[in-house]
Amino acid sequence: MSDTVKVCLIAARGRNNVIGREGDLPWRLKDDMAFFKKMTTGSPIVMGRRTWESLPVRPLKNRENIVLTRDWTYAADGARVYSSFPAAINTARAIARRQGAHEVYVIGGAMIYEAALPYADRIYMTEVDATPEGDVYFPSLAGDEWTSTALESHDAGNGNDFAFTIIRMDHTTPLAQG
């Protein structure tokens, strides 16, 4: 039986694929943060330990926070901690089904996007019109496996450092099941 809960990556990347710099984001995009909040509220979110530690407020509220680390002693107050991506995504799916959510969100960073790609039904990608300096990159995607639909565009200004477009990318070929 196919799983009705979709595994979705949600990310923002520059034209050079940069997503992070020195443990933080390379930009401030107010309207993208609002999109992120609107999409993920009420659904489980899965993230790497470094992204968890980069959050200004932990856990992100009204969402089940799931953190991946290989450190078995790691404690993340207010989050569930896992050391295997398949186990984390299975738990996220089970929680989503129980809560009536249709999507779970993998929120980064690069290492966890990489682990999640074989499971990803969908990517919500914010394409930022900038080429910032950075030290973390979104993994490369096979272009022929994804169908893109533009969702919204925003100009620079009013809290957005750069202009950006949010795209939904749907996977077109069969996926790994957790």
Residues making contact with ligand NAP (CB under 6 A): 11-12, 19-20, 23-25, 47-51, 54, 68-71, 74, 83-85, 107-112, 115, 136
When the beta carbons of 69 and 165 are compared against ligand NAP, the nearer one is 69
When the beta carbons of 19 and 96 are compared against ligand NAP, the nearer one is 19
Q: Are 144 and 150 in contact (CB under 8 A)?
A: no
When the beta carbons of 84 and 148 are compared against ligand NAP, the nearer one is 84
Q: Minimum distance between the CB of residue 45 and ligand NAP, rounded to whole angstroms?
A: 10
Q: Minimum distance between the CB of residue 159 and ligand NAP, rounded to whole angstroms?
A: 16
Q: Minimum distance between the CB of residue 49 and ligand NAP, rounded to whole angstroms?
A: 4
Which pairs from 12-16 meet CB under 8 Å and 24+ separation? 12/125, 12/126, 12/128, 12/164, 13/125, 13/126, 13/127, 13/128, 13/137, 13/138, 14/128, 14/130, 14/131, 14/132, 14/134, 15/127, 15/128, 15/129, 15/130, 15/131, 16/131, 16/132, 16/134, 16/137
When the beta carbons of 25 and 95 are compared against ligand NAP, the nearer one is 25
Q: Which residue is nearest to ligand NAP (CB)?
A: 109
User: What angle (nearest 5°) sits at the alpha carbon of residue 115, between those of residues 71 and 77?
Assistant: 40
Q: Minimum distance between the CB of residue 100 and ligand NAP, rounded to whole angstroms?
A: 26
Q: Minimum distance between the CB of residue 155 and ligand NAP, rounded to whole angstroms?
A: 19
When the beta carbons of 37 and 98 are compared against ligand NAP, the nearer one is 37
- Give exposure, 29-51, as e/b (b: 16+ Cβ within 10 Å): bebbeebbeebbeebbbbbbbbb
When the beta carbons of 139 and 144 are compared against ligand NAP, the nearer one is 139
Q: Minimum distance between the CB of residue 64 and ligand NAP, rounded to whole angstroms?
A: 17
Give, as one character, the DSSP assignment of residue 60: P
